[in-house]
Structure 1
Amino acid sequence: MSANTQTTAYTDESSQALSSDAAIVVNTMSKSYGSNCVVDQLSFKVQPGEVFALLGPNGAGKTTTVETLEGYRAPDTGSVRVLGLDPIREGHALKPRIGVMLQQDGLYPALTAREVLQLFAGYYAQPLSVDTLLERVGLTSAAKTRCRRLSGGQKRRLALALALVGNPELVFMDEPTAGMDPQARQVTWEIIRELKRKGVTILLTTHLMDEAERLADHVAIIDHGQLIALDTPANLTGTQNANIVRFVAPEGLDCQQLAALPSARKAEEVRAGSYLIESEAIPSLLVELTTWLRERNITLSELRVGHGSLEDLFLRLTGSEVRD
């Protein structure tokens, strides 16, 4: 199936009737700033208790979409519902039920980590234990440290705790593990899995394709404000029965010749100097590929074998590298 055919199939699926019992419903939403249309007839839904990843290159419309769902912006046309409520007109009823983990933390610099959590806990009727949250995100030892002295990774972990302190039904997470070390990243992933097991709905944005692939039940990819793919990670990659050879070499190799190798099913240059070949007979393909390269005196700088990935699909559909 070609990328264009694949995209059309997923977009058509998202255009079906959006059920009112979904945790999040975005229905033909559009939003412009002046003459710049940043969200264009966008539709998708998020079911209760699932992890939903919203992906796209910078400028794709992710931030505007999420801010609209959080009640900070109003759509020009179309509609959104979060937990059955209009985020703007019924924000007073919605806000106690959601948590928001912002990419820019905006913490009070003079307060300690515990003081900030205690402050936010006071906004909710039944907050979670401050000390328990500090321990869960690995900040017990930094509880008395003022926010301005926290490291970048510690600020991200505190932002996560702030998003959870109100015991929310739904959590928005913007780049939840950005700036975290590998250990903190694994802890955050486990917290997200725990929330899912408890029935909490999570919508996250991330530039880390492996994060979306491992955590999300469904992934939506948007670009230029439009939905271009929506499905489970496994269905999106669509290569469960095929393996992938990825290699780095001088840019501009003839992909038609690579695709014509006897064991190749498809070949493409996904970005300058980075190539991908699909095959169901990897050992044979490796012999054919190395022979082809040797005959042309082409040297590889990297060669990897594995299954198709979400990053491969992302690059095919957006034509963009995942960028910060």
Structure 2
Amino acid sequence: MPEIKESHIYVEGLWRRYGTGAHTFDAVRGITLTVMPGELFALLGTNGAGKTSTMELLEGLARPHKGAIRLFGTLDPLADRPRIRPRTGVMLQEGGFISHLTVKETVDMWADITTRPHSTTQALQTAGLAHRSDVAVKNLSGGEKRRLALATATLSRPDILFLDEPTTGMDAEGRHATWQLIKDLNEQGTTVLLTTHYLEEAESLADHLAIMHRGQIAAAGTVSSIVADHPSTLSFGLTAPHTLRDLPVDGAVQDAKGRVTITTANLQKDAARLLAWAEEHDVALERFTARPASLEEAFITIANRDDQPQETSS
């Protein structure tokens, strides 16, 4: 298929199983996704949804129970590892650094085993760690350790960059600086696949995203296409003598303080009808708001699903 040959990451019918015999658990259950060259793709999901299990398969750290993975069009992460490794960067959830080495010594060590690495100085500057170069890894904060992991993962300016929870433990300033670094790498041509718990991170960075739930992809597409499947909200204050029965839009709910909420699949049409009615009847809709659905609402809706697990792969 042309899509496979043109893609940087292609996954079809992917399963990952833990355990043997009667004691098995399928962490990834038949997922399919495609990431094209130069794309930034975010993988979302609650803890245990299967994000890291998927990433480890793509990185060639484990063998799939079933399904196909191809990187750079035709290469298998395990069988073709010698050809893939020089072109990829990997940032794991845990860096696994030697605690008594300094930051500079750590990057120097990684540079020695990296194909065409940038200078240590440049890597530290890019990651915002130049001022911490002589500090032992054990004395870094959690956010600084994440930036060190990012520095080592991007030493060679990889064609594909895997980032597993890249900003966990960072403060707001560090998180936004890291977002900018990821954006810069992506704009320079690096294909990025990241997992994250931060919905703002996905909204800010991703061209496309997928939301995983119980080992499967529950929704995929652009932020706007995923959000479009969830209702928008109209909200306003309504006072006597007018009641919900007077409103030109169905489905209104009013709380004890008189605040009315309407969920709608057609925000523009229902907002226009409501405002026209208010103008015609000289009604003041106090603190009127019209709000489209958010990625957070879509994510929570999916996360709260109580779907029964599907049958396991043989």
Give the TM-score range, shorter chain. Answer: 0.7 to 0.9
Instruction: Identify the match of residue 174 of structure 1 among 164, 167, 172.
Output: 164
The answer as to 2:307 corresponding to 1:318 is no
- Cα–Cα, structure 1 residues 261 and 159, in superposed 2: closer, same or farther, change >3 Å? farther
Shift of 1:166: 2.1
Q: Contact 1:18/1:27 (CA < 8 Å) preserved in 2?
A: no
Instruction: Identify the match of residue 63 of structure 1 among 38, 52, 58.
Output: 52
In the alignment, what sits opposite 1:236? 226
Instruction: Identify the match of residue 108 of structure 2 among 82, 107, 118.
Output: 118
In the alignment, what sits opposite 1:33? 18
- Cα–Cα, structure 1 residues 313 and 121, in superposed 2: closer, same or farther, change >3 Å? same
- Cα–Cα, structure 1 residues 261 and 130, in superposed 2: closer, same or farther, change >3 Å? farther
Shift of 1:21: 1.7
Shift of 1:93: 1.5
3-state SS of 1:20 partner: helix
3-state SS of 1:29 partner: strand
TM-score (norm 2): 0.78
In the alignment, what sits opposite 2:181? 191
In the alignment, what sits opposite 2:258? none
- Cα–Cα, structure 1 residues 195 and 228, in superposed 2: closer, same or farther, change >3 Å? same
Q: Please list the CA deviations of residues 221-260 of structure 1 after superposition, one character each: whole Å capped at 9, or x if unmatched.
A: 11111121110111111179x853689xxxxxxxxxx9x9
Query: Structure 1 regions of 5+ residues with no counterpart?
Result: 1-15, 248-257, 268-274, 289-302
Query: Structure 2 regions of 5+ residues with no counterpart?
Result: 237-243, 254-260, 279-287, 306-314
Which is higher, the Rg of structure 1 or of structure 2?
Answer: 2
Q: Contact 1:133/1:161 (CA < 8 Å) preserved in 2?
A: yes
Partners of 1:110 and 1:262 in 2: CA distance: 69
Partners of 1:214 and 1:246 in 2: CA distance: 27
Partners of 2:273 and 2:92 in 1: CA distance: 46
Shift of 1:123: 1.1
Q: Contact 1:239/1:307 (CA < 8 Å) preserved in 2?
A: no
3-state SS of 1:133 partner: helix
Partners of 1:103 and 1:266 in 2: CA distance: 45
Instruction: Identify the match of residue 77 of structure 1 among 59, 63, 66.
Output: 66
In the alignment, what sits opposite 2:198? 208
Q: Please list the CA deviations of residues 190-240 of structure 1 after superposition, one character each: whole Å capped at 9, or x if unmatched.
A: 111111111100000001111101100001111111121110111111179
- Opposite residue 55 of structure 1, the aligned amino acid is L
Q: Please list the CA deviations of residues 270-291 of structure 1 after superposition, one character each: whole Å capped at 9, or x if unmatched.
A: xxxxx98344429969xx9xxx
Q: Equivalent pairs: percent with the same residue? A: 39
TM-score (norm 1): 0.76
Partners of 1:165 and 1:157 in 2: CA distance: 12
In the alignment, what sits opposite 1:220? 210
- Cα–Cα, structure 1 residues 140 and 227, in superposed 2: closer, same or farther, change >3 Å? same
Shift of 1:189: 0.8
- Cα–Cα, structure 1 residues 283 and 88, in superposed 2: closer, same or farther, change >3 Å? same
- Opposite residue 209 of structure 1, the aligned amino acid is L
- Opposite residue 38 of structure 2, the aligned amino acid is G
Instruction: Identify the match of residue 41 of structure 2 among 40, 45, 52.
Output: 52
3-state SS of 2:121 partner: helix
- Cα–Cα, structure 1 residues 284 and 200, in superposed 2: closer, same or farther, change >3 Å? same
